[in-house]
Chain A
Amino acid sequence: MISQNLDLKIESRSALKRFNWDFAVVILFLQVIGIINLYSAAYSTDHLTGVFRSQLIWIAIGWSAFLVISRIDYKSLIKYSPVFYWANLIALVLVLLVGKRIYGSRRWLDLMVFNYQPSESMKFFLILFMAGFLARHKLQNFDFKDLVKPGLILGIPFLLTYKQPDLGTAMLLLAIPSSMILFLKVKRKVLFTLVAILAISLPAAWNYALKPYQKNRVRNFLNPERDPRGTGYNSIQAKIAIGSGQILGRGYRDGSQNQLQFLPERHSDFIFCVLSEEFGFIGGFITLMTFLVLLIIILNIARNSGDRAGALICVGVAAFIFWHLIINIGMVAGLMPIVGVPLPLLSYGGSSMVTFMTSLGIVASVGNRRFMF
């Protein structure tokens, strides 16, 4: 009798009620911030006029993806995640063999209609695959031997992407699944050993693994005045833009760094500079806080999911957004070398918008599912 009542109650919950409105509103708010700034950035130039309109279209496509994915049971996605993972791995190998070379690195596969970048979609499939793997093995407090398999799962795509070369994406492919493993906790001795290995390998990596242009980026980061024309120039201009915003900013569409086209890639990777210049510390702070709220909502969905795999997916998506955000803002604020990493939900770009919205859609799916029990 009681259980019958319960069933009725669950069924009467409409899809609308189950929909996590806070979550959606926060996402939309960030996109609106992005659109407002994109308009200012696009408006200052000639060849960006189409950018604004196409971003609106991408946001619409992103939301469609979000809604579709959120209706799908994420468990079936996990079930098929090995297929996606291996297919994506093959695509990564293909990139190295027959990839399209743009600006000296092979990152794209020419699919006739558009250029596909397998390392981008890998971020997403890696989260699913890793979540499925870690949930199946019910591991906690990882020891060295437990790390071998997960290490291979994330290591192979990392190496393939690193070979392209695309250091930025490779680092993210390392950081996102690693965050998921660290979340489940590793033994203290393992943690210390890893940190020690990292510390020792850094000088070695400097000498052997980094390409000259990558070394230059690091050198320029440590001393931007070294090469004001190249990456250092971008870094200086970005800092000037942010700094000159002061507390309240210079006003919408009045940022001279933006409008006079001092800022490189204003509409994509450097969109945060436009925001900071025109809306000042207040604007940047509000944006950061919104991101913080978004991350906390995702972690709360994870905590309440009541399912190990679902929780791990959410943690992976949180890490996905978190690392992009930290690297992007760290980079424009002069805390990190310049690498091409977009700011989630704000930067211009169709594939990044769709990927982020799809991942957030999975989080929504995890959130929806908890009412199904």
Chain B
Amino acid sequence: MGKLFFSQQNSDQFTFDLNFKAAKIFIVFFFLILVSRLWFLQIIHGEEFREFSNQNLLKSSDVYAPRGRIYDRDGKVLVENLPAYKAIITPQYTEDLDKLAADLAPALGIDVEDVIRKVKRSRRQNGPFFPVDIKRHLSRDELFKVELIKLDHPGLAAEEFILRHYPYAGEVAHTLGYVREISKKEIPRLNKQYDNKVKFKQKDIVGKKGLEEAFDLSLRGRKGQSFVIVDAKGQKRTQRIMNAIGEVLKNTPSQPGSDIYTTLDIELQQKASEAFEKYDRVGSLVAMTPEGEILAWVSHPSFDPNEFSKRLSPEVWRKWVNNSDRPLRNKAIQDHYAPGSTFKPIVALAGLQAGAIKANQHVYAPSSFKLGRRVWHDHTQTGQGYIEVREALERSSNVFFYKLGLELGPDKMATVATALGLGATTGIPIRGEVKGHVPTRAWKEKRWGEPWQDGESLNTAIGQGHVLVTTLQLAQAYSAIAMDGAVYKPKIIKKMEPAKISNWEFKEKEFEPTMVRHLSADTEADYFVDKKHFKVVKQGLDRVVNGRQGTARRARFKKPFSVAGKTGTAQVRRFSADQIYKPCPKRAKKEKHNGWFVGYGSFEDKPRITVAVLTEHSCTSAAAVPIAKEVFEAFFKKYHNLRVDDDKPKS
């Protein structure tokens, strides 16, 4: 039975047999063609090709594109390229490494053993054709010596490279970022990230952090290709080109990277950076025009990006990483903090719009407020008496805002705060921005699974508890208050030449000021706040600086210059009952309060600049006010001809 089945299956196998034979002949025929072709190339003409490969090699090599420069708003250079030289050794072409090292090391002032070890290790890891950097940044003298030694040792060469130079060093480090040689691990990741628009190779320079990273694609330009005839020792030759090529090769030039013009004002930037230095504070500062153009951006202490260009030494790196003040961190966007009293104007706006308080209504604000079994304190022990909203802002009365916050509840405060840009990233094209946080009832229930407590409304109203903001967000929000509710997206790029794609999602129109929303014009929106309420709050902010009991009187200017704003002292954590009255300066450093000052400066009653300053663990806002004042002063001097004697306050 089985046999029958088998033979049946094979019924057409006889006819197939011939086909298999034909197929095999067909295959062998083609293989013969391939083998004879290999015979032709490798055996008949092998010697010629070997000769070609030995003597004259046609090699295409990359022509590096100069990286784009970065300027400030006046066209001052913030980042430039400087030519520099390095000594390289290619192991394959080195005849006597020991002798080369013995000749070279003393000329460059380095250790003979080091040279040999470096070359040997690279030979093992990267192969004999991969050039090894022996010393970067050769002096003129060293370069000359290398050129001399090179005559005896074909494996040695001096190579030009471009050094990225930051003339203002640490003063603008965080916005600009730095550049570094690409690491092996990054190559596949970046190739993928940029969708193979750029093919990264080892030793390529890539932007890290700040604008250098965000606009890396635009800044780096496009490499060109040049065709050179080199011999097997890698030396360039200009002799006649082998007849197999027959004609002179055309090179493709490199495309230089785009230059970026930022909105930064380096004079203001320097002033702000120096102010942190002068008052010995740690923190961040953002200064912007009310339309969102960032003028200065400081995160203090800072780092020197030139160290990265020069290949960072481990000691410097360790020093930065181990510094508890975290110089590498961009504190203006990477860290969020409780806004403290700087949140009160936002609560006031929400309260006025909701009708929870009238502009001239006086509220009793004693030194403490009892809710349930807990007593909530003002920062003064005397209390404020009967005060209206402007006075409450001027003196920063906690009890006034406890009462207001309790009546408003979290959601109404959150609507205005969110509309002003808090609780969301601003979209600044610099990596690492955090969102901050604005609490709502829904969030509380979702995140913690329990309902909102009234006590939390109290905390929220004075900018403590769950509220978290970045310095940049507060600058944006106060600009909007200064502009009666027009919220502008912060921007740092003025123009790019030539304008090209970036790896940041960036549209051409974003070079212009972009208004995100307008609180007093979008009458239908749930975040609508009437213009007259802005006027009340702005009067309050004015009194913070210029009123008799104001908390930021140090920032006063003589008319037509004026500053209005709000101070804030924010606890960094909740203290236990026995700790709460401990004087701040006696606390451990990390437990000291943060100080805030956020305000806008006007000239002839028109807001011109907003400055937000955070001083970490400074105990009071008194630390932040003078730093802001320096920036206001520099701004007024430069743009509105403030004379030095004008800035002395009357009293």
Q: Which residue of A lies closest to B199 (CB)?
A: A47
Q: Does any Cβ of B come within 8 Å of A256's Cβ? A: yes
A233 to chain B, nearest CB (A): 7
In the assembled complex, which residues on chain B have CB atoms less than 8 Å from the CB atom of A46? 126, 130, 184, 187, 201-203
Interface contact B27-A244, CB-CB below 8 Å: no
Q: Does any Cβ of B come within 8 Å of A281's Cβ? A: yes
Other-chain residue from A225, A239, A240, A253 in contact with B247 (beta carbon distance below 8 A)? A225
Number of residues of chain A lying within 8 A (CB) of chain B: 63
Q: Does any Cβ of B come within 8 Å of A151's Cβ? A: no
Q: Does any Cβ of B come within 8 Å of A49's Cβ? A: yes
The stretch of A90-98, A213-221, A326-334 that contacts the partner chain: A326-334
A251-271 contacts to B (CB < 8 Å): 253, 256-257, 259-262
Q: Does any Cβ of B come within 8 Å of A56's Cβ? A: no
In the assembled complex, which residues on chain B have CB atoms less than 8 Å from the CB atom of A296? 24, 27
Q: Contact flags (1/0) for B52-76 with A, using CB distance below 8 Å?
A: 1110011110000000000000000
Interface contact B31-A243, CB-CB below 8 Å: no
Q: Does any Cβ of A come within 8 Å of B19's Cβ? A: yes
Interface contact A281-B200, CB-CB below 8 Å: no
Given known contacts A242-B41, A243-B41, A285-B35, A260 and B20 CB-to-CB distance under 8 angstroms? no
In the assembled complex, which residues on chain B have CB atoms less than 8 Å from the CB atom of A239? 41, 49
The stretch of A74-82, A164-172, A299-307, A358-366 that contacts the partner chain: A299-307
A143, B498: Cα distance in complex, Å: 64
Given known contacts A43-B127, A228-B58, A228-B227, A245 and B34 CB-to-CB distance under 8 angstroms? no
Interface contact A243-B13, CB-CB below 8 Å: no
Q: Does any Cβ of B come within 8 Å of A292's Cβ? A: yes
Q: Does any Cβ of B come within 8 Å of A315's Cβ? A: yes
Given known contacts A46-B202, A225-B247, A260 and B59 CB-to-CB distance under 8 angstroms? yes
Q: Does any Cβ of A come within 8 Å of B246's Cβ? A: yes
In the assembled complex, which residues on chain B have CB atoms less than 8 Å from the CB atom of A330? 34, 37
In the assembled complex, which residues on chain B have CB atoms less than 8 Å from the CB atom of A247? 42-43, 46
B99 to chain A, nearest CB (A): 23
Interface contact A281-B57, CB-CB below 8 Å: no
Given known contacts A243-B50, A315-B23, A225 and B31 CB-to-CB distance under 8 angstroms? no
In the assembled complex, which residues on chain A have CB atoms less than 8 Å from the CB atom of B6? 306, 373
Q: Does any Cβ of B come within 8 Å of A102's Cβ? A: yes
Number of residues of chain B lying within 8 A (CB) of chain A: 68
A152, B6: Cα distance in complex, Å: 34
Q: Does any Cβ of B come within 8 Å of A308's Cβ? A: yes
Q: Does any Cβ of A come within 8 Å of B129's Cβ? A: yes
B498 to chain A, nearest CB (A): 23
B1-53 contacts to A (CB < 8 Å): 1-2, 5-6, 9-10, 12-13, 15-17, 19-20, 23-24, 27-28, 30-31, 33-35, 37-39, 41-43, 45-50, 52-53
Interface contact A240-B52, CB-CB below 8 Å: yes
Q: Does any Cβ of B come within 8 Å of A147's Cβ? A: no
In the assembled complex, which residues on chain A have CB atoms less than 8 Å from the CB atom of B200? 47
A43, B202: Cα distance in complex, Å: 13
Q: Does any Cβ of B come within 8 Å of A58's Cβ? A: no
A90 to chain B, nearest CB (A): 26
A334, B34: Cα distance in complex, Å: 10
A83, B350: Cα distance in complex, Å: 63
Interface contact A229-B31, CB-CB below 8 Å: no
A326, B33: Cα distance in complex, Å: 10
Interface contact B50-A333, CB-CB below 8 Å: no
Other-chain residue from B9, B28, B184, B202 in contact with A292 (beta carbon distance below 8 A)? B28
Given known contacts A244-B50, A259-B129, A302 and B38 CB-to-CB distance under 8 angstroms? no
Interface contact B46-A245, CB-CB below 8 Å: yes
Interface contact B49-A288, CB-CB below 8 Å: no
Q: Does any Cβ of A come within 8 Å of B383's Cβ? A: no
In the assembled complex, which residues on chain A have CB atoms less than 8 Å from the CB atom of B246? 225
Q: Does any Cβ of B come within 8 Å of A6's Cβ? A: yes
Q: Does any Cβ of B come within 8 Å of A344's Cβ? A: no
In the assembled complex, which residues on chain A have CB atoms less than 8 Å from the CB atom of B127? 43-44, 253, 259
In the assembled complex, which residues on chain B have CB atoms less than 8 Å from the CB atom of A281? 38-39, 42-43, 46
Q: Contact flags (1/0) for B175-189 with A, using CB distance below 8 Å?
A: 000000000100110
A114, B28: Cα distance in complex, Å: 38
Interface contact A243-B46, CB-CB below 8 Å: yes
A26-61 contacts to B (CB < 8 Å): 43-47, 49-50
In the assembled complex, which residues on chain A have CB atoms less than 8 Å from the CB atom of B188? 47, 50
Interface contact B46-A246, CB-CB below 8 Å: yes
Q: Does any Cβ of B come within 8 Å of A202's Cβ? A: no
Q: Does any Cβ of B come within 8 Å of A231's Cβ? A: no
Interface contact A102-B196, CB-CB below 8 Å: yes
Other-chain residue from A50, A276, A292, A334 in contact with B27 (beta carbon distance below 8 A)? A292
In the assembled complex, which residues on chain A have CB atoms less than 8 Å from the CB atom of B57? 256, 260, 262
In the assembled complex, which residues on chain B have CB atoms less than 8 Å from the CB atom of A45? 201-202
In the assembled complex, which residues on chain A have CB atoms less than 8 Å from the CB atom of B53? 240-241, 243-244, 256-257
Other-chain residue from A243, A253, A257 in contact with B45 (beta carbon distance below 8 A)? A243
A244, B191: Cα distance in complex, Å: 33
Given known contacts A44-B127, A246-B42, A247-B43, A236 and B37 CB-to-CB distance under 8 angstroms? no
Interface contact B30-A326, CB-CB below 8 Å: yes
Interface contact B245-A228, CB-CB below 8 Å: yes
In the assembled complex, which residues on chain A have CB atoms less than 8 Å from the CB atom of B12? 140, 308
Given known contacts A46-B201, A47-B200, A288-B31, A306 and B9 CB-to-CB distance under 8 angstroms? yes
A260, B58: Cα distance in complex, Å: 11
B222-272 contacts to A (CB < 8 Å): 225, 227, 232, 234, 244-247, 249-250, 252
A212 to chain B, nearest CB (A): 19
B496 to chain A, nearest CB (A): 25
Q: Does any Cβ of A come within 8 Å of B547's Cβ? A: no
Q: Does any Cβ of B come within 8 Å of A284's Cβ? A: yes
Other-chain residue from A228, A242, A306 in contact with B10 (beta carbon distance below 8 A)? A306
In the assembled complex, which residues on chain A have CB atoms less than 8 Å from the CB atom of B52? 240, 243-244
Interface contact A229-B42, CB-CB below 8 Å: no
In the assembled complex, which residues on chain B have CB atoms less than 8 Å from the CB atom of A12? none
Interface contact A229-B249, CB-CB below 8 Å: yes
In the assembled complex, which residues on chain B have CB atoms less than 8 Å from the CB atom of A345? none
A245, B48: Cα distance in complex, Å: 11
In the assembled complex, which residues on chain B have CB atoms less than 8 Å from the CB atom of A205? none
Q: Does any Cβ of B come within 8 Å of A346's Cβ? A: no
Q: Which residue of A lies closest to B48 (CB)?
A: A243
A330, B30: Cα distance in complex, Å: 10
Q: Does any Cβ of A come within 8 Å of B128's Cβ? A: yes
Q: Does any Cβ of B come within 8 Å of A156's Cβ? A: no
Q: Which residue of A lies closest to B232 (CB)?
A: A256
Q: Which residue of A lies closest to B128 (CB)?
A: A259
A307-352 contacts to B (CB < 8 Å): 307-308, 311, 315, 318, 322, 326, 329-330, 333-335
A32, B250: Cα distance in complex, Å: 40
Interface centre among B50, B184, B203 (most CB of A within 10 A): B50
19 new A-B contacts at CB < 8 Å, known A240-B244, A244-B46, A245-B46: A3-B1, A44-B127, A47-B187, A47-B200, A47-B202, A140-B15, A236-B244, A240-B52, A242-B38, A243-B52, A246-B43, A247-B42, A259-B129, A306-B10, A322-B27, A330-B34, A333-B38, A334-B37, A335-B33
Task: Identify the 6 closest CB pairs spanning chains A and B, nearest first.
Answer: A243-B49, A46-B202, A246-B46, A244-B53, A244-B49, A243-B41
* CB pairs A–B below 8 angstroms (12 shown): A225-B246, A233-B58, A239-B41, A240-B244, A244-B46, A256-B57, A257-B53, A260-B234, A318-B27, A322-B27, A335-B37, A373-B9
Residues of A within 8 A of B (CB): 3, 6, 43-47, 49-50, 102, 140, 183-185, 225, 228-229, 233, 236-237, 239-247, 253, 256-257, 259-262, 276, 280-281, 284-285, 288, 291-292, 295-296, 299, 302-303, 306-308, 311, 315, 318, 322, 326, 329-330, 333-335, 373
Residues of B within 8 A of A (CB): 1-2, 5-6, 9-10, 12-13, 15-17, 19-20, 23-24, 27-28, 30-31, 33-35, 37-39, 41-43, 45-50, 52-54, 57-60, 92, 126-130, 184, 187-188, 191, 196, 199-203, 225, 227, 232, 234, 244-247, 249-250, 252
